[in-house]
Amino acid sequence: MKKALVMLMVVALFAGVLGFTPVRAAEGAIVQITIGSTKATINSKAVVLDQPPLIESGRTLVPFRFIGEAIGAQIGWNPAKKSVSYVLGNKNIVLTIGSVTAIVNGVKTTLDVAPKILPTGRTVVPIRFISESIGAKVDWNATTRMVTVTVAAAKPSWSTPIKIVLSAPFTGSGSILGTYCKGGAQLAVDEINAAGGVNGAKLDLITYDDQANASTAATVVRRALDSDKAVAIFGPNMSAAVLGVHALAQQAKVPMLVGATSPSLRYDTTHNDYLFRLRADDGVKVAQQVKYIVEILKAKKPGIILGSDDYCTSALAVAKQAFEKYGIKIVDIESMKEGDKDVTAQVTKLKNAGIDVLVGLTHEPEAAVVMLKVRQLKLAVPIVGFSAWGVPAFTDLAGDAAIGVISVQGFNPADTDPTVKKFVDAYKAKWGMEPSDPAQCYYDGVYLLKKAIETAGSTDPVKIDEALKTVEYTGVQGLMKCDALHNFTNICYISQFNGKTWKVISKIP
């Protein structure tokens, strides 16, 4: 009985030493060992070594079989030549006991320390050399005397291009936006492809015109899903179009990354696990606009000029709430319709209401109409406009009348941040024009997708979708990470127009 118990313990011990399942190459692994200790971890699971790692001439030596199995390599032992070999993927390493010469992929390399057989009979090899030769990363922590070997997930290489679809407006009232959507996405795709693609596979961007129209967008998305078999869809960029089609992506379980900014596309409303937003939503922007008006401009009597569609009215709802939180009463709200060209009466009333700041919640042409009238009637208060007041479509029309206007923007090409500058320069070089919102978000979006595919180790849309929820990526819009509302970023700018460019007043966050 006692004998049986001992046997069991021996088996248990063995299991403790060798009982870890060798990781599969594709999965990657993190191996941690400590000098002089038999305790080690592989992917956070404790294992016990039969021989503690030791340092010789500044190099850490570990049992040859342990490291090979930990990183998932095939191990060979040739007793005649006294050589050890490791094969992982397309890497092949041969070491000889007592020799500083190693052969990596058929090429002779010289080691600092030769592999050797310890007096205990264990064969040890230099861990850094082995790890780095097969492409793993080695970190050394001097205080804890711990070595961490990170084996990246082996990159499966896909031969067929990875299809992604962009649905954006190229005709219709939003056509200029389509140009920017495509400009950003295509730039990222071309950069990625030039640098070798995603795990060796090229990205193939297919672009369709959705005319900023929900029914056309539905046709485009169905085509992307059914016939193109896209792994992810970028756009539509128009909120109303996204509302009409995001359920299609959900049904097909294909991630949809959009630059549409309506607050109604937040996860708490859509409950769509496949819908992600690539730039700050309008709710966030209006809140920041109000915050700036109250905290920096110290305005107490805001007046609002309001457009009539959903973009404007949902901005108003957020603005009302935000002002209320500060205990500030909006003294006058004047409305106009899209297409209105005379706002004499509205501006007169705002002026007579004694407002100390004009909050513009309209689209671009209406913003221009308002500003021309503001200048004509000499309404001399700060003007703080919503996102439509911060784009060329407004400043081109308003001309000099736009000088001095402050706007909340999703993107400002004048930002001096190096990542932004690099993007702006590349965009200009490629397209001969300056990028404007939303170009940056589709640019970031494609890079995000690349990272998600790499993390998922698969082009399966469901796995990409899972990965999108966890990946972090630092791009033109700073750190992008999926939050509870499925928004990747809340970045926005408060900027002021000086007649040529928008000077950044503050960048949030």
Partner 1 sequence: MVLSDLLQNIIGGVTVGATYGLIGLGVVFLWQSIERINFANISSAMLAAYLFYTFYTQLHLGFLVAFVVSIAIIAAYGLALRHLVLEPINRHGGDKLEFVVATLMLCTFWLSVVKVLYGGIAKPFPPVFGEATSFVQIGSISIPSVYFWIFFVVLVLVLVLYVLLQRTMIGKMFRATAQNKEMASLVGINVGMTTSLAFMLSTSIVGIAGILLAPIYFVSLDLGGGPIGVKGFAAAVMGGLIDPLGTILGGLSIGLIENFSTLFISSAYKDVISFVVLVVVLVWKPRGIFNWTTKGD
- Residue ranges binding partner 1 (CB under 8 A): 169, 171-176, 334-337, 339-342, 344-346, 348-349, 352, 364-365, 368, 372, 375-378, 393, 396-401
CB of residue 458 vs partner 1: minimum separation in angstroms?
39
How far is the C-alpha of 375 from the C-alpha of 405, rounded, in Å?
11
In angstroms, the Cα distances linking 27 to 128, 153, 155, 460 are 20, 5, 9, 16
Minimum CB distance to partner 1, residue 397 (Å): 5
Which tokens sit at 187?
């730039």
**Nearer Cβ to partner 1 (390/475):** 390
Phi and psi, residue 492, nearest 5°: -155, 165
Which is nearer to partner 1, 275 or 393 (by Cβ)? Answer: 393
Whichever of 210 and 465 has its CB closer to partner 1, that residue is: 210
Nearer to partner 1, 153 or 397 (CB): 397
Angle between helices 364-376 and 344-352 (to 10 degrees): 60
Q: Which is nearer to partner 1, 297 or 403 (CB)?
A: 403
Q: Least distance in Å: CB of 174 to partner 1?
A: 6
* Least distance (Å) between residue 494 CB and partner 1: 24
Q: Provide the minimum distance between the beta carbon of 243 and partner 1 in the complex, in angstroms, as a whole number.
A: 20
Quote the least distance from Cβ 159 to partner 1, whole Å. 39
Query: Distance (Å, rounded) from C-alpha 187 to C-alpha 447?
Result: 10
Q: What strands lie across the sheet with 83-88, from one edge to the other? A: 74-78, 83-88, 91-96, 101-104, 107-110
A 10 A CB-CB count for 219 gives 15
Least spacing, CB of residue 376 vs partner 1, in Å: 5
Please report how close the Cβ of residue 393 comes to partner 1 at its closest, in angstroms: 5
Q: In which residue are the tokens 């699971």 written?
A: 45
Q: How far apart are CA 91 and CA 106, in angstroms?
A: 10
Min separation Cβ 104 and partner 1, Å: 57
Q: Please report how many Cα atoms fall inside a 13 Å half-sphere around the Cα of residue 308, on the Cβ side.
A: 6
Residue 29 tokens read as: 């692994």
For the chain, the residue count is 509
Question: Counting beta carbons within 10 angstroms of the beta carbon of residue 227, is it exposed (0 to 12), middle (13 to 18) or buried (19 or more)?
Answer: exposed
Least distance in angstroms from the C-beta of 346 to partner 1: 5
Amino acid at 507: K
Angle in degrees, CA 492, 497, 498, rounded to 5: 145
**Residue number, 392 or 478, with CB nearest to partner 1:** 392
Q: With respect to partner 1, which residue has the nearer C-beta, 401 or 482?
A: 401
Element counts in the chain: helices (H) and strands (E): 15, 28
Q: Are 282 and 314 in contact (CB under 8 A)?
A: yes
* Structural Rg of the chain based on CA atoms: 30
Instruction: Pick the closer one to partner 1 by CB: 33 or 372.
Output: 372
Instruction: For the CB of residue 177, give the shortest distance to partner 1 in the complex, in Å.
Output: 9
Beta carbon nearer to partner 1, 53 or 178: 178
The terminus-to-terminus CA distance of the chain in angstroms comes to: 69
User: Torsion angle of alpha carbons 266, 268, 272, 277, nearest 10°?
Assistant: 20
Name the residue nearer to partner 1 (CB basis): 213 or 490. Answer: 213
Measured CA to CA, the distance from residue 65 to residue 74 in angstroms comes to 10
Please compute, for residue 473, the number of CA atoms within 13 A of its CA located in the half-sphere on the CB side: 25
Question: How far, CA to CA in Å, does 62 sit from each of 92, 124, 128, 221, 342?
Answer: 19, 5, 10, 55, 81
Strands 39-42 and 45-48, by their bridges, are antiparallel
Q: Which is nearer to partner 1, 369 or 467 (CB)?
A: 369
Q: Pick the closer one to partner 1 by CB: 181 or 336.
A: 336
- Give the number of C-alpha atoms closer than 13 A to the C-alpha of residue 507, restricted to the C-beta side: 15
Residue position matching structure tokens 């901005």: 315
We find the least distance from the C-beta atom of residue 306 to partner 1, in angstroms, to be 9
